[in-house]
Amino acid sequence: MAEYRALTPKRLLLIASLLAVGVAAPLVLPAYQLQLTELLLFIVFALAWDLVGGQMGYNSFGNVLFVGLGMYGAAIVQVGLFYDVGLYNAARGGGTQFVFDVPQFITGLALGIPAAALISAFAAWLLGSLVLTMRGHYFAICTLGLGIAAGQIAAGIPWIGAGSGMLTPNPPEALGDVALLLYYLALGLAITCALTFAWLLSTRFGLALNAIRDDEDKAEAMGLKTHAAKVTAWVIAAGFLGAAGALYGNVVRFIDPVQTAFAGATIGVWMILMALLGGKGTLAGPIVGAIVFQIMKELFWTYLLGWQRVALGLLIIAVAVFFPAGIVGFIRERGSAKAKEQNQ
């Protein structure tokens, strides 16, 4: 409830200007369009991780599972609507037989993205009933195992391209700037995600998640249906992760089971880093964290080629050890310290 504030004119203005920046950004900075799209998807990743990790206190190391399911789910729908998926992947998606015209491509995206969200949400519901009864170390490592197992399994299924991965449909020339389309879809998703979470956190459900984080046994003893709340939160987060994964797959065009889809040691842990860097358990934190992270990542990729993972690993260690409250948390702490001083 703390997150909810009334829509004052000032806030409306802020939201409107953010929206304007979002709409204009790829036109003003065409060279960074890809990075901007990625950033928007990272924002969704970080927000979704934080709903369960930060707000509810269940630190999942396997949320990448839902990203990967979304990637594959969407790609399979996009292809499968018009061609045989197995043949498509056997031919590595190329050739003259597997061409998508504009209506086909658009239909594929329009159905693929919601399908991806549903698939991931369904998986979260199935798995959540099993793993959300564990806590602490056990939940963390169990989810880590889930994410990696999924990648290994995907790498063994020839129908989806096995270890050599799967290509998303080739966008038709006639469609024009597909990258821009994907950018705006990502923008829409990020805004939907942020607004949905803002609303969720303003309801009793949001309070229930925080109660679970602070003292789950107490919440249970107060009659809250903690298990249902936990599973619901995970399902919602997974739905957004799935949709974001669907877009991400289409942005990168190539889905490698271990390196892209179920990449536990990159995207999987980056989303945690983003949430933590910005401020765990806050709404603004993951967004701020994703922005800072994306900038740092691009700098690392430009100046530290070959050592980016080392740099990001060091960043993870530094944040986990020295800066666990994150940017927003840090600012708030300073704010409340000041307030206390003034009280005295």
Partner 1 sequence: MTAMLQVTDVTKAFGGVVANDAVSISVPQGAIVGLIGPNGSGKTTLFNAITGAQAIDAGSIRFEGQEISRLLTGEIARAGIIRTYQQPRIYGGLSTRDNMLVSASIRRGSSPSLFRRANAKAIAWADELLDFVGLIEKRDILAGDLSFGQQKLLELAMALSNEPRMLLLDEPTAGINPILIDSVIERLKVANSKFGLTLLVIEHNMPVIMDLAQHIYCLAHGSLLADGTPEAIQNDANVLDAYLGAA
Partner 2 sequence: MTSNLLILYEAPALGLQLAIDGILIGAVFALAAYGMALVWGVTNIINVAQGEFVMLGGLISILGAEHGLPLWLTVPLAAAALYALGWLLFYTVIVHLLGRDMFNSVLATFGIAIVMQQVMAHVFGAADRIAASSLGSWFFLDNFVVISKMKVVVFAACIGLGLTLAWFLSRSRKGQAIRAVAQKPEAASILGIETRKVYCLTYSLNAAICGAAGALAATAYTIQPYGGLSYTVRSFMIVVVAGLGNLGGVIWAALGLGVAENFAGFILGTQYQIAFVFGLLVAVLVFRNWRLRRQRKHLE
In whole angstroms, what is the distance from residue 224 CA to residue 220 CA?
A: 5
Binder of residue 307, out of partner 1, partner 2, none (CB less than 5 to 8 A by kind): partner 2
Residues 6+ apart with CB under 8 A from 213: 55, 56, 57, 281
C-beta of residue 23 within 8 angstroms of C-beta of residue 183:
no
Q: Is 228 in the site for partner 2 (CB under 8 A)?
A: no
The torsion angle over the Cα atoms of residues 282, 285, 286 and 287, rounded to 10 degrees, is 120
Choice from 79, 272, 274, 287 touching partner 2 (CB under 8 A): 272
Q: Is 214 in the site for partner 1 (CB under 8 A)?
A: yes
The torsion angle over the Cα atoms of residues 292, 294, 296 and 301, rounded to 10 degrees, is 180
Choice from 207, 292, 325, 331 touching partner 1 (CB under 8 A): 207
C-beta of residue 75 within 8 angstroms of C-beta of residue 301:
no
State the number of CA atoms in the 13 A half-sphere of 323 facing the CB.
Answer: 20
Binder of residue 163, out of partner 2, partner 1, none (CB less than 5 to 8 A by kind): partner 2
C-beta of residue 123 within 8 angstroms of C-beta of residue 69:
yes
Backbone angles phi, psi at 63, to 5 degrees: -60, -20
Choice from 94, 95, 156, 176 touching partner 2 (CB under 8 A): 156
Q: Is 227 in the site for partner 1 (CB under 8 A)?
A: yes
Q: Which of residues 59-88 bind partner 2 (CB under 8 A)?
A: 59, 61
In whole angstroms, what is the distance from residue 29 CA to residue 27 CA?
A: 6
Choice from 79, 131, 182, 271 touching partner 2 (CB under 8 A): 131
Q: Is 121 in the site for partner 1 (CB under 8 A)?
A: no
Q: How far is the CB of 53 from partner 2 (least distance, A)?
A: 8
Q: Which of residues 2-21 bind partner 1 (CB under 8 A)?
A: 2, 4
Q: Which of residues 240-259 bind partner 2 (CB under 8 A)?
A: none
Through-space distance between the first and last CA atoms of the chain, rounded to whole angstroms: 28
**The two structure tokens encoding residue 160:** 């989806």
Q: How far is the CB of 221 from partner 1 (least distance, A)?
A: 5
Binder of residue 334, out of partner 1, partner 2, none (CB less than 5 to 8 A by kind): none
Q: Is 276 in the site for partner 2 (CB under 8 A)?
A: yes
Residue 29's alpha-carbon distances to 21, 37, 68, 330, in angstroms, are 11, 12, 29, 31
Q: How far is the CB of 225 from partner 1 (least distance, A)?
A: 7
Give the residue among 59, 1, 57 at the shortest CA–CA distance from 206: 1
Q: How many residues bind partner 2 (CB under 8 A)?
A: 45
Give the residue among 88, 29, 67, 39 at the shortest CA–CA distance from 289: 39
Q: Is 334 in the site for partner 1 (CB under 8 A)?
A: no
Q: Which of residues 260-299 bind partner 1 (CB under 8 A)?
A: 281
Choice from 13, 19, 90, 141 touching partner 2 (CB under 8 A): 141
Buried b (16+ CB within 10 A) or exposed e, 254-267: ebbbbebbbbbeeb
Binder of residue 14, out of partner 2, partner 1, none (CB less than 5 to 8 A by kind): none
Residues that bind partner 2 (CB under 8 A): 53, 59, 61, 130-131, 133-142, 144-146, 148-149, 152-153, 155-156, 162-163, 264-265, 269, 272, 276, 306-307, 309-310, 312-317, 320-322, 324
Residues that bind partner 1 (CB under 8 A): 1-2, 4, 200, 202-205, 207-208, 210-211, 213-215, 217-227, 229, 281
